[in-house]
Amino acid sequence: MSRLVSAKDMLNKARDGKYAVGQFNINNLEWTKAILLTAEELKSPVILGVSEGAGKYMCGYKTVVGMVNGMMESLNITVPVALHLDHGSFEGAKACINAGFSSVMFDGSHYPIAENIAKTTALVNTCDVLGLSLEAEVGSIGGEEDGVVGMGECADPAECKAVADLGVTMLAAGIGNIHGKYPENWPGLRFDVLEKIKAQTGDMPLVLHGGTGIPDDMIKTAISLGVAKINVNTECQLVFAEATRKYIEAGKDLSGKGFDPRKLLAPGFEAIKDKVKEKMEIFGSVGKA
Give start and end residues of each alpha helix (H) in the chain. 8-17, 29-41, 52-57, 61-74, 90-99, 113-130, 157-164, 191-201, 216-224, 234-249, 261-264, 266-283
Q: Minimal distance in Å, beta carbon 240 to ligand 13P?
A: 13
Nearer to ligand 13P, 141 or 247 (CB): 141
Nearer to ligand 13P, 161 or 229 (CB): 229
CA dist 242 and 244 (Å) reads: 5
Nearer to ligand 13P, 137 or 159 (CB): 137
Catalytic residue flag (residue 128) = no
Nearer to ligand 13P, 233 or 247 (CB): 233
Q: Minimal distance in Å, beta carbon 49 to ligand 13P?
A: 6
Choose the catalytic residue: 9, 16, 86, 107. 86
* Binding stretches for ligand 13P (CB under 6 A): 25, 49, 86-87, 179-180, 209-212, 231-235
Q: Minimal distance in Å, beta carbon 208 to ligand 13P?
A: 8
Nearest to 167 by CA among 200, 194, 135: 135
Q: What DSSP string describes 1-17?
A: ------SHHHHHHHHHH
Q: Minimal distance in Å, beta carbon 11 to ligand 13P?
A: 15
- Asked if 160 and 196 count as a contact pair (C-beta separation under 8 A), the reply is no
Neighbouring-strand partners of residue 24:
48, 232
Q: Give 177's Cβ-side CA count (13 Å radius).
A: 29
**What residues act catalytically?**
86
